[in-house]
Structure 1
Amino acid sequence: MVAFLVAEALGNKLSSYLAENQVQSVLKAYEFAEQCHKGQLRQSGEPYITHPLAVAIILADMHLDHEGLMAALLHDVLEDTHINKKELIGHFGSTVAELVDGVSKLSEIEFTSKAERQAESFQKMTLAMSKDIRVLLIKLADRLHNMRTIHGLSPEKRRRIARETLDIYAPIAQRLGINNLRLEFEELGFSSMYPVRYKRMLEARKTARGPRREIVKEIQDGIEVRLDKESIGAEVTGREKHLWSIYQKMKSKKKSFRDIMDVFAFRIVVDSVDNCYRTLGVIHNLFKPVAGEFKDYIAIPKVNGYQSLHNVLIGTHGVLIEIQIRTRDMDAMANFGVAAHWLYKSQQEGNPRAYRWIQGLLEIQKQAGNSLEFIEHVKTDLFPDEVYVFTTKGDIISLPHGATPVDFAYAVHTGLGNTCVACKSNGDLIPLSTRLDSGAKLQIITTKDAQPNPSWLNFVMTAKARSAIRHFLKHQQHAESIVLGKNLLNRALGSFGTNYKSIRKSWIKRALAETGCASFEEILQQIGLGDRMAYALANLMAPPSMRKDSIPEEFESPIMIDTREGLIINYARCCHPIPGDSILGHLSPGKGLVVHLDSCKNLNEIRTNIEKCISLNWSLKVKGDFAVAFKVQLVSERGVIATLASRISACEAVILKIQADERDGDSSIVDLLIEVKGRIHLAQVIRRIRLLKQVQRVYRTKN
């Protein structure tokens, strides 16, 4: 009896915007659904037909067409009754049957299931959406009624469904611009997910509402009077903030409930776009706007088609006022989104942005190799806290907000990350530390000899990238320290009249026994890291007849330096040695070999200790960019620093640091740190700088 009365109310509602024959078609679908579901009950004990009937009423409020409403009434018959698709086509035609079939497929969505099933369900949703958006509207209305009647379920099931609603359905409603559904999803989801928090905030809002009423009325009356004077017809309403929105702002902005509630919100609906801007001018004359808070979503609509003018002003009594100014059509779009303009009938009407989004999902679905790739694109728009970028093949990579090209490279393949040297985003080169934006198409540039840079650990976001970099560096440091250890030991063995290749197994056994190390590689690594002295080990390994009581005054062969890269060989920042300079090295425990200028004062204390202070030579094949520091004394003139920097860049040198200190009113000293290939390259840079007429002196700083 209750269902019949509700159906009668539905018929009356439909008569206000549908033709009589269309209303009869909807009622015929109701009678058919009632017969199909006869004897079936919901968990609440009500007849099952009350659910599709309620779904149809929700959609009737959106003024959905008669075929969509028929499908809403029949949306469960394929899944829960003996009726098949062919029978539906016979009774109601292929369009309604396809809609019902599409909704039935969407009912298989299980967001807590395994990733692949979840992705397949998303794929079905998009295929159905792209063919007919009414499928998704019915599904959203179906979920809304389920949320309204969720109280009969167990607390655990309520929380699961509420989380699913907040995570998936509310963002989809927002993406399609259906604000009324989104707000109700959020309120119902909040009350089911966090019932205690919801109840406390509801009570706090009721308490705060009392003193606010007079202020809201005073502001509203002031706006209405001023608009009436300007002959602008408008509907002015004071809006109450929704609890989920308040809760989210309290969390994200770390503000109290009182701070959030201190803002008063008003919506002004007028009859034309011209009057929107006129109204804005009137409001600015009435209240002082807050700088930087104005947003024009009329000229530049949001991606879901939403349009309004937004601003924050300081009202009477110093309270903050949020205002939204829009036309009646914009208000309908804000509330009903794609449903407001029959988007499923015409691509040209209403909300082309939302339509393009849906069509874009279909295109990605066609291109994606599998459903898991496709789901990432769906999430791009629904979950802005994540970043979704494309590979050159069109694959989608999911990354956390703030991720960089290095994270992307490692997400694709560890080998790609280990050898990356640069990145192109949509065809343009970007630094490896750049924070990525969703939708970018990335191309990682690699070189065969490249390797991870320890500085990457300062900006990577993903655990995969961080662990891969650390693993590589640890392995690389191990390998490099063994190579350096071999060279140092070979040099030390020279003073015993032998070399590394001549080491006998008995010597190695003796070394392992004396040091307690598990392997000879471990000993070599310790030497390379500076934790063990090479000469002391050589003396330990050698037979008693070959051992010496004192360290020789010098070793015969110096260690050759052939590259800038490496984790075990470091270049001193106090003197910045470059190829061509006379150099010395010292072993720093745990760091390896540190290269200094031969004349560096910091080596004075250990210069005579040949175990710690090592003679070095540059290899003839040395390569890399080396940092060097120098000073430029010049006449202070406007733009001279820019000219100086330009001269340096023209010589293909990279400026790492530039700092100018004014010496007096007429001259300045500029401290520079640049990267060069060697002394010849540095000489070219200095020669180019000296050609500037403002330059008085250029000299290298070595300590």
Structure 2
Amino acid sequence: MSDLNKPVTSQERKEILDSYKKLLKASEGIVKPDEVRMIREAIDISLRKGKNIRRVSGTPALLHSLDIARIVVEEIGLGRTALICSLLYDVLRNGEMTLEEIQNRFGNHVFMIMEGLSKVAELYNRNPAIRSENFRKLLLTFAQDVRVILIIIADRLRTMRTLERYDRESQINISSEVSYLYAPMAHRLGLYNIKSEMEDLVMKYTNRDMYKFIAKKLNETKRARDRYIKEFIAPLKEELADQGLKCDIKGRTKTINSIYNKMRKQNVEFEQVYDLFAIRVIIDTEPKHEKAECWKVYSIVTDKYQPNPSRLRDWLSVPKSNGYESLHTTVLGPNHKWVEVQIRTKRMDEIAEKGLAAHWRYKGIRSERGLDQWLTNVREILENPEANVSDFIDDFKLNLYDEEVFVFTPKGDLRRLPKGATVLDFAFDVHSEIGKKCVGAKVNQKNVPLKYQLQNGDQIEVLTSSNQEPKQDWLNIVSTSRARTKLKQALRDIEFKEAELGREMLVRRLKNWKLELTDQLTGQLVKQFKYKTVHDFFCDIAKDKLDAGDIKEYILKDRQKEKDQVDGQQALRSAENFVPVVDREEYNAHDVLLIDKDLSNVNFQLAKCCNPILGDDIFGFVSVGGGIRIHRTNCPNAPDMRKKYGYRIVPARWTNEVGGSYLASLKITGEDNIGIVTNITQVVSKEMGLKIRSINVESHDGVFEGTLSVFVGNKHSLNLLMRKIKTIKGVFDVSRLDVV
């Protein structure tokens, strides 16, 4: 019997029952009496259908579902529909129930969210961590209904809490994914507690030694810290009570990850991090008195303790885009220690704890425009079909964590942008057409350039010109995902038009020379003039960067060369003129390669930048267009890939010693004579029985330098060939090339 299908143990049964009771208790306050039946029905289905099903970690799927539902209700604050969907997620994921059945039993609201969760489940079923080629699908699903995001965040949080049950590779992959996607997502949605816990758990599994060190230090200093907090709070409590303010004051130790970040940024030891904790004052008051009473508390705090004016943060007047409202200040407490004080109301605190979900409960008190605008922005990025995956992920992540600046239009309308945004970002935020035509701006009545970084309170009037066009270097100026996405699209449109114009120009000139532009000729020209793509070739013709005279000269020379070969007029004078008959053969490595624990139905290719062959140490890299490229571990691009795109790397290894044929390339230098090349081809073809794809030779001052591309069976065969070639008289050196 598979470990994933074995019956639950008595201990697991006890845990399931305990979680079940807690969930029933937690859901009492969020559902009406007539809705209780649906909740109980969802729980009963989860109990019956998921009884003996286990997750990849070995945890019973039923226990996982119950725990997700509790997180959704208790820690995120969602209601009946999300609770039902959480309970049914694993049942649907394991095929125990269909979407049609769910729609018939629970209605369209549950069905729509479950449809989104079903798409996410398809992506996760093969592997506990999402690969980058699926990011677009994953986030498109998220963008349809925010509750899909919130339920998956709950699922990932529960997975992180039980990560010790996974193997080491899965721990690294899941932690990496949570770090670059779900923790920032939780931050953007205002789920600060969940975001902080995720970051701590990521650190626990990716930087274990430092995590244990800080945790130990915090434990050792806990008693002294608690004593100091009590001493700090006592006079404040007394004064607030005298003023008739109903407040709850508590101290909160900062997270291990945030302490570690302070140690890194400030380059200090643990003992030198002064703000290890924050004091939070939570006021119980009516919505209409909120701002006044928060400032009243601020006045009391700063009367008791000396404030640091540069550390005042006012998110009461203009809340963050994720709805966060609070007043932060840093004051000098007893023993001359700096202490952060956060002042907010009970409503603000619930929004800070539960983010978006709490907004729905308090709808109408504060605008949700910030979050709606962000989700619209996400959809815009996702709906751009031409963005490659790495650009897309970078664009998506651009303003997940960023702080904000608040600026005004000439009419006084307030706009939020990420900190570091420029005039050009603002122009694209107003309208993409205004962004494309922007030449600068008037900020506070003064002319400024496109790259001017916006400051809080700036009033901005965008200046445009009908003659202006987007430029490539603008990508170095913009910092928001919206502006970057719109700008890239505009640049692609311009390049496409230029390429079309260049092609038309070349066709006309060739016609004047009595020549026709064929696909074959286009390919020859692109190769001859060393362009990466046909598109770039035609663009340079349109921009007059490539001289038509050079193209004509090459074509006429090539035609003359063909004529000379036909007439037998060309004499072989040196190794450079040697052209062997080659047999071009494709290779197939499917039978000898194992990718990431035997993934099936995966398209893969051998990377051309390092050209791996059987026997090389290799790894897989998820490519922009889907599929996997196999690279050598010592590929020149490997360090950059691991640093920037570690989440796209998958393990790969050869499973056989023989199988298929692989294209390898050698660089050979030696004395310049036709005989030496003949000897090399004899060794390759006759002695080794290998097939040559091509041999290209150039001669200078009596020395030839050649590139030999040959099909080999494995690395051993290639090494043997290199040794044999080195023994040929007149050969100076033989080395393997990365690029074929």
TM-score by length of 1: 0.54
Partner of 2:331: 313
Q: Is the 8 A contact 1:263 1:322 kept in 2?
A: no
Task: State how 1:154-169 maps to structure 2 within 5 Å.
Answer: 154-169=167-182
Partner of 2:358: 340
Task: State how 1:294-373 maps to structure 2 within 5 Å.
Answer: 294-342=312-360, 348=364, 352-361=368-377, 364=380, 368-370=384-386, 372=388
2:195 corresponds to 1:182: yes
Task: State how 1:12-51 maps to structure 2 within 5 Å.
Answer: 12-51=25-64
Partner of 2:78: 64
Q: Deviations over 1:344-380 (max 9, x none)?
A: xx97465604432354236525863446576555323
When residues 380 and 441 of structure 1 are mapped into structure 2, their CA distance, relative to the original with a 3 A threshold, is farther
Task: State how 1:172-251 maps to structure 2 within 5 Å.
Answer: 172-251=185-264
When residues 49 and 460 of structure 1 are mapped into structure 2, their CA distance, relative to the original with a 3 A threshold, is closer
2:91 corresponds to 1:73: no
When residues 443 and 155 of structure 1 are mapped into structure 2, their CA distance, relative to the original with a 3 A threshold, is farther
- RMSD of aligned C-alpha atoms? 4.6
Q: 1:460, CA displacement in angstroms?
A: 12
Q: Is the 8 A contact 1:162 1:193 kept in 2?
A: yes
Partner of 1:613: none
Q: 1:213, CA displacement in angstroms?
A: 2.6
Selected match of 2:134 from 117, 120, 127: 117
Partner of 2:310: 292
Q: 1:202, CA displacement in angstroms?
A: 0.5
Q: Deviations over 1:324-361 (max 9, x none)?
A: 01000001000001111327xx9746560443235423
Q: Is the 8 A contact 1:106 1:124 kept in 2?
A: yes
Give secondary structure in 1 for the equivalent of 2:355. Answer: helix
Selected match of 2:98 from 73, 78, 84: 84
Q: 1:116, CA displacement in angstroms?
A: 4.6
Q: Is the 8 A contact 1:234 1:270 kept in 2?
A: yes
Q: 1:190, CA displacement in angstroms?
A: 1.5
How many angstroms apart in 2 are the aligned matches of 1:12 and 1:114? 38
When residues 155 and 423 of structure 1 are mapped into structure 2, their CA distance, relative to the original with a 3 A threshold, is farther
When residues 69 and 421 of structure 1 are mapped into structure 2, their CA distance, relative to the original with a 3 A threshold, is closer
When residues 154 and 440 of structure 1 are mapped into structure 2, their CA distance, relative to the original with a 3 A threshold, is farther
How many angstroms apart in 2 are the aligned matches of 1:90 and 1:444? 58
Q: Is the 8 A contact 1:337 1:351 kept in 2?
A: no
Q: Deviations over 1:19-60 (max 9, x none)?
A: 233223112101112222232123454422111110011112
Amino acid paired to 2:331: L
Amino acid paired to 2:67: A
Amino acid paired to 2:135: Q
Q: Is the 8 A contact 1:175 1:304 kept in 2?
A: yes
Selected match of 2:120 from 95, 99, 106: 106
How many angstroms apart in 1 are the aligned matches of 2:202 and 2:400? 17
How many angstroms apart in 2 are the aligned matches of 1:271 and 1:452? 54
Selected match of 1:93 from 94, 98, 107: 107
How many angstroms apart in 2 are the aligned matches of 1:264 and 1:370? 46
Give secondary structure in 2 for the equivalent of 1:238. Answer: strand
How many angstroms apart in 2 are the aligned matches of 1:224 and 1:142? 40
How many angstroms apart in 1 are the aligned matches of 2:441 and 2:58? 57
Q: Deviations over 1:424-470 (max 9, x none)?
A: 47999854765699x9999999899xx999xx9x99999xxxxx9xx
Give secondary structure in 2 for the equivalent of 1:49. Answer: helix
Q: Deviations over 1:413-434 (max 9, x none)?
A: xxxxxxx999547999854765
Give secondary structure in 2 for the equivalent of 1:305. Answer: coil
How many angstroms apart in 1 are the aligned matches of 2:54 and 2:133? 32
When residues 385 and 277 of structure 1 are mapped into structure 2, their CA distance, relative to the original with a 3 A threshold, is closer
Q: Deviations over 1:190-213 (max 9, x none)?
A: 212211110011011122223223
Give secondary structure in 2 for the equivalent of 1:83. Answer: coil
Amino acid paired to 1:89: Q
Selected match of 1:260 from 273, 284, 291: 273
Selected match of 1:134 from 147, 163, 184: 147
Q: Is the 8 A contact 1:422 1:431 kept in 2?
A: no
Q: Is the 8 A contact 2:190 2:322 kept in 1?
A: yes
Q: 1:169, CA displacement in angstroms?
A: 0.8
Task: State how 1:254-653 maps to structure 2 within 5 Å.
Answer: 254-262=267-275, 264-272=277-285, 273=290, 274-342=292-360, 348=364, 352-361=368-377, 364=380, 368-370=384-386, 372=388, 375=393, 377-384=395-402, 423-424=439-440, 431=449, 434=452
How many angstroms apart in 1 are the aligned matches of 2:464 and 2:136? 26
Q: 1:297, CA displacement in angstroms?
A: 0.8
Amino acid paired to 2:240: L
Q: Is the 8 A contact 2:129 2:170 kept in 1?
A: no
Q: Is the 8 A contact 2:275 2:338 kept in 1?
A: yes
Q: Is the 8 A contact 2:423 2:440 kept in 1?
A: no
Identical-pair percentage: 26
Q: Is the 8 A contact 1:380 1:386 kept in 2?
A: no
How many angstroms apart in 2 are the aligned matches of 1:175 and 1:351? 16
Q: Is the 8 A contact 2:190 2:356 kept in 1?
A: yes
When residues 240 and 351 of structure 1 are mapped into structure 2, their CA distance, relative to the original with a 3 A threshold, is farther
Gaps of 5+ in 1: 388-398, 407-419, 463-467, 469-474, 480-703
Amino acid paired to 2:318: I
How many angstroms apart in 1 are the aligned matches of 2:322 and 2:383? 23
Give secondary structure in 1 for the equivalent of 2:160. Answer: helix
Bigger Rg, which one: 1
When residues 443 and 152 of structure 1 are mapped into structure 2, their CA distance, relative to the original with a 3 A threshold, is farther
When residues 242 and 400 of structure 1 are mapped into structure 2, their CA distance, relative to the original with a 3 A threshold, is closer
Q: 1:83, CA displacement in angstroms?
A: 2.3
Partner of 2:17: 4
Amino acid paired to 1:244: N
Q: Is the 8 A contact 2:92 2:98 kept in 1?
A: yes
TM-score by length of 2: 0.52
How many angstroms apart in 2 are the aligned matches of 1:289 and 1:10? 44
Give secondary structure in 2 for the equivalent of 1:102. Answer: helix
How many angstroms apart in 1 are the aligned matches of 2:188 and 2:454? 22
When residues 107 and 245 of structure 1 are mapped into structure 2, their CA distance, relative to the original with a 3 A threshold, is farther
When residues 459 and 178 of structure 1 are mapped into structure 2, their CA distance, relative to the original with a 3 A threshold, is closer
Amino acid paired to 2:214: M
Q: Is the 8 A contact 1:294 1:311 kept in 2?
A: yes
